[in-house]
Amino acid sequence: MDWNRTKTIFIIVFSILNVFLYWLYLDRQMGVGNMQILGKTSVEETLALENITYDPIPFNKKDVSYLSAHLATFPTEKLEELSDQSVVLIEKSRLLSHMKKDVKVIEEKGDYDFDEFLKKYVLNGKDYVLWDVDEEERSAVFFQRVKNETIFYSPNAMLIMHWDKEGKVTHYEQRMLDEFLSFNHKKDLLSQDDAVSSLVTRGYLKPDSTVMQVKSGYSTLVQLTETQVFAPTWNVQVKLKDGTIEHYFINAIEGKVIEFQTDMLEEPTE
Residue 86's pLDDT is: 95
Residue 144's pLDDT is: 98
Helix (H, G, I), strand (E, B) or coil at 15: helix
Nearest to 235, CA basis, from 223, 247, 221: 247
Q: What whole-number distance in Å separates Cα of residue 75 and Cα of residue 79? A: 7
Residue 35's pLDDT is: 46
Query: 217 burial class (0-12, 13-18, 19+ CB within 10 angstroms)?
Result: buried
Residue 43's pLDDT is: 77
CB of 246 closer than 8 Å to CB of 223: no
Residue 163's pLDDT is: 97
pTM equals 0.83
Residue 268's pLDDT is: 46
Residue 76's pLDDT is: 86
Residue 224's pLDDT is: 75
Residues of the chain with pLDDT under 50: 21-22, 25-26, 28-38, 267-270
Residue 3's pLDDT is: 56
Give just the sign of the alpha carbon dihedral 198, 201, 205, 208. Answer: positive
How confident is the model over 42-51, as pLDDT tens digits? Answer: 778 888 889 9
Helix (H, G, I), strand (E, B) or coil at 89: strand
